[in-house]
């Protein structure tokens, strides 16, 4: 699908002085998946600098954790259904980092997880610095068992370490890209279950976070802090 067939629906360029709370909610507290960070809304952990959103993970005690970081979402403020979602970002490096750009269904609070479904536009773990992962997660009919379809792509070097992560999503499929190169396509029909609507045919909200350690990212190297995840822009097009 070529850019001339796209119309920009919504964009966040992070050009303001502070994070726009008309779009973004700050999540606070401990992470999931046995991660070790405590999420805050402090400028130390999340801010705008020179047209970039900066999420900074720090080694410092907070509540029941030895680390702090940040996580924001667009729940109730900006939903996405079909189209192209494109994010230009620079990832933190080092063992233990787990930055992600991902989505949950708008029914998350109502129906819980995994009933909400999940679309992972970009996931990265510092212990595997050469790959980017994209995935779709959806529940079985009991809404307890989860199915996951995931793929990864080798991340090539770029001059400034920024890359563009995107999905193109329509009624048939979700296709995943890094720097315009497609590496995975999920067939939405695979999530069809009798007696309920397909979860990938309803709106989702966006989440951006920097997790540490936990089930996937594993051991944390304390010498890497502060670790910074930079987001240049988010652009949402209809196709």
- Which residues lie closer than 8 Å to 131 by C-beta, 6 or more apart? 124, 152, 153, 154, 155
Q: Which two tokens stand for residue 4?
A: 């001339």
Average pLDDT, the chain: 95
Residue 219 pLDDT level (bands cut at 50, 70, 90)? very high
- pTM (2 d.p.): 0.96
| Res 75 pLDDT > 60 | yes
Please tell me whether residue 166 adopts helix, strand or coil conformation. Answer: strand
Q: Where in the sequence numbering do the catalytic residues fall?
A: 118, 123
Enumerate the H helices of the chain as residue ranges.
Answer: 108-111, 214-217
Write down the pLDDT at residue 196.
83
Count of domains forming the chain: 1
Q: How remote is the C-alpha of 220 from its chain's centroid? A: 20
- Residue 147 structural domain: 3-238
- Which tens digit of pLDDT belongs to each residue from 165-191? 999 999 999 999 999 999 999 999 999
Give the rounded percent of residues in the chain with a pLDDT score beyond 90. Answer: 88
Q: Indicate the pairing of strand 52-62 with strand 227-238.
A: antiparallel
Please tell me whether residue 228 adopts helix, strand or coil conformation. Answer: strand
The CATH number of residue 234's host domain is: 2.60.120.200
Write down the pLDDT at residue 216.
96
């Amino acid at each position: 699908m070529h850019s001339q067939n796209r119309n920009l629906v919504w964009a966040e360029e992070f050009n303001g002085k502070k994070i726009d709370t008309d779009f973004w909610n700050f999540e606070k507290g401990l992470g999931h998946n046995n991660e070790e960070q405590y999420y805050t809304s402090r400028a130390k952990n999340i801010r705008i600098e020179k047209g970039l959103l900066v999420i900074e993970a720090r080694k410092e005690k907070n509540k029941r954790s030895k680390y702090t970081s940040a996580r924001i979402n667009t729940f109730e403020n900006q939903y996405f259904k079909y189209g192209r979602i494109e994010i230009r970002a620079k990832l933190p490096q080092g063992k233990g980092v787990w930055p992600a750009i991902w989505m949950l269904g708008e029914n998350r609070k109502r129906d819980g997880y995994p009933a909400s479904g999940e679309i992972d536009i970009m996931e990265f773990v510092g212990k595997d610095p050469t790959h980017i992962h994209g995935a779709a997660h959806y529940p079985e009919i009991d809404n307890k068992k989860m199915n996951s379809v995931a793929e990864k792509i080798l991340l090539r070097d770029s001059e400034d370490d920024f890359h563009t992560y995107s999905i193109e999503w329509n009624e048939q499929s979700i296709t995943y890209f890094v720097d315009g190169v497609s590496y995975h396509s999920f067939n939405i029909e695979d999530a069809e279950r009798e007696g309920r609507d397909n979860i990938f045919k309803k709106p989702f909200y966006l989440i951006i976070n920097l997790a540490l350690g936990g089930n996937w990212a594993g051991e944390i190297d304390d010498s890497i802090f502060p670790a910074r995840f930079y987001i240049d822009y988010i652009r949402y097009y209809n196709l």
